Amino acid sequence: MTRSPQIIPISDLRQDASGILKRMAASHDPLFITQRGRATAVIVSMQEYEHTQHELEILRLLARGEKEIEAGSGFDLKTVLAEADTLLAEQP
């Protein structure tokens, strides 16, 4: 089941920034901020941001590996799996 996105106008953020940030810290859902009826920003908890950045780094490494394979260079599978295990162990 998909939940509806949390959307608030920027005026609500101005009036209760502290309360909104507290709710965001406890939430895993992004909060969309609107200005004049249009989405202008997205707020996520620091934990979710760090998790997303970690996943992006893994994807970058995979993409780099794909390019190295295509170019006929790279590392042996044992080395790659060891590095992947290290990255996954560091995951927040």
Domain residue ranges of the chain, discontinuous segments joined by + = 6-44, 47-90
Place of tokens 């934990």: 47
Q: At what angle do helices 77-90 and 46-71 cross, to 10 degrees?
A: 170
**Tell me, what amino acid is at 76?**
D
Place of tokens 């959307």: 7
Per-residue pLDDT of the chain (92 residues; tens, 9 = 90+): 567 778 999 999 999 999 998 888 787 889 999 999 999 999 998 888 999 999 998 888 888 878 887 787 777 778 878 888 887 887 66
Task: Return the CATH number of 6-44, one of 3.40.190.10, 3.40.50.150, 3.40.1620.10, 3.40.50.300.
Answer: 3.40.1620.10
At residue 11, the pLDDT reads: 95
